[in-house]
């Protein structure tokens, strides 16, 4: 039957070379095109569509040094008409990454340290319209539906962001026009929800869970 044609999206030439070598080594899988960021991926898809054939699956990295990130690109791709399934292939398996990817409409979530055979299975599965999840991704989603979970309120997230810029309680208070007492109250709530007991740990935890962006944005 037909070959499964893959669009590779990753900003590292080394990783693209690895995936190319690995995937083309499998029977029934070929590389349709490659892109180094989300924007380029969309261009490639437009080009391929014009040439008559969408790829059967997009293999997408989440962390892109510059340009459009993987989550945004995935969401954009889902809007296309012959929308190819997007299989996320990334380095990290944090809650926020997994959740963001699934929310964006990814068909799967695999890790770069997965053995080649698992990767092959995942690509074929996604191309066939199925789902492929790394063990931890699957576990997280199961846990999520059984456990709604305590999440931060928008206000708390806002204060957390200011916190991460290095502002004192007083400075934060002035910034958002509330009293220092209120800032402290919010922080106590935040610490409780994040399971920490000081501001630096809160920043670390919130950054890790991608609740806030790292201070001094980078890919």
Stretch that binds DNA, among 97-105, 117-125, 129-137, 164-172 (CB under 7 A): 164-172
Strand spans (E) along the chain: 4-9, 29-35, 57-60, 86-90, 108-111, 132-133
For DNA, which residue of 184, 213, 214, 219 counts as binding (CB under 7 A)? 184
The size of the interface with DNA (CB under 7 A), counted in residues, is 25
Paired strand residues for 7 = 33, 58
- Residue 165 binds to DNA (criterion: CB under 7 A): no
- Residue 186 binds to its own copies (criterion: CB under 8 A): no
CB of 60 to its own copies, least distance (A): 14
For its own copies, which residue of 46, 80, 168, 185 counts as binding (CB under 8 A)? 168
Contact 5, 32 (CB under 8 A): yes
Phi-psi category of residue 27: left, alpha or beta, with phi > 0 → left and psi -120 to 50 → alpha: beta
- Residue 148 binds to DNA (criterion: CB under 7 A): yes
Site for its own copies in 106-145 (CB under 8 A): 112-116, 119
Contact 1, 35 (CB under 8 A): no
Residues with Cβ within 8 Å of 106's Cβ and at least 6 positions away in sequence, in order, are 60, 74, 86, 87, 88
For DNA, which residue of 191, 207, 208, 210 counts as binding (CB under 7 A)? 191
Of 43 and 184, CB closest to DNA: 184
Long-range contacts of 149-152 (CB under 8 A, 24+ apart): 150/193, 151/193, 152/190, 152/193, 152/211
Which of its own copies, DNA, none does residue 135 bind (CB under 5 to 8 Å by kind)?
none
Positions in the binding site for DNA (CB under 7 A) = 148-149, 153-156, 168-170, 173, 176, 178-182, 184-188, 191, 197-199
């Amino acid at each position: 039957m037909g070959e499964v044609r893959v669009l590779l999206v990753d900003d590292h030439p080394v990783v693209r070379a690895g995936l190319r070598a690995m995937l083309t080594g499998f029977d029934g899988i070929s590389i349709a095109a490659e892109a180094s960021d989300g924007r380029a991926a969309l261009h490639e898809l437009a080009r391929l569509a014009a040439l008559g054939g969408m790829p059967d699956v997009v293999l997408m990295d989440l962390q892109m040094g510059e340009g459009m990130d993987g989550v945004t690109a995935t969401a954009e791709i889902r809007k296309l008409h012959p929308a190819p399934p997007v299989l996320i292939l990334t380095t990290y398996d944090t809650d926020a990454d997994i959740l963001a990817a699934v929310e964006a409409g990814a068909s799967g979530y695999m890790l770069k340290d997965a053995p080649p055979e698992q990767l092959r299975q995942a690509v074929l599965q996604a191309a066939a319209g199925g789902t492929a999840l790394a063990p931890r991704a699957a576990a997280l989603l199961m846990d999520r539906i059984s456990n709604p979970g305590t999440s931060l309120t928008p206000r708390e997230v806002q204060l957390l962001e200011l916190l991460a810029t290095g502002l004192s309680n007083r400075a934060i208070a002035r910034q958002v026009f509330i009293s220092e007492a209120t800032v402290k109250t919010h922080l106590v709530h935040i610490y409780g929800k994040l399971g920490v007991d000081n501001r630096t740990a809160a920043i670390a935890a919130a950054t890790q869970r991608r609740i806030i962006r790292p201070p001094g944005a980078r890919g």
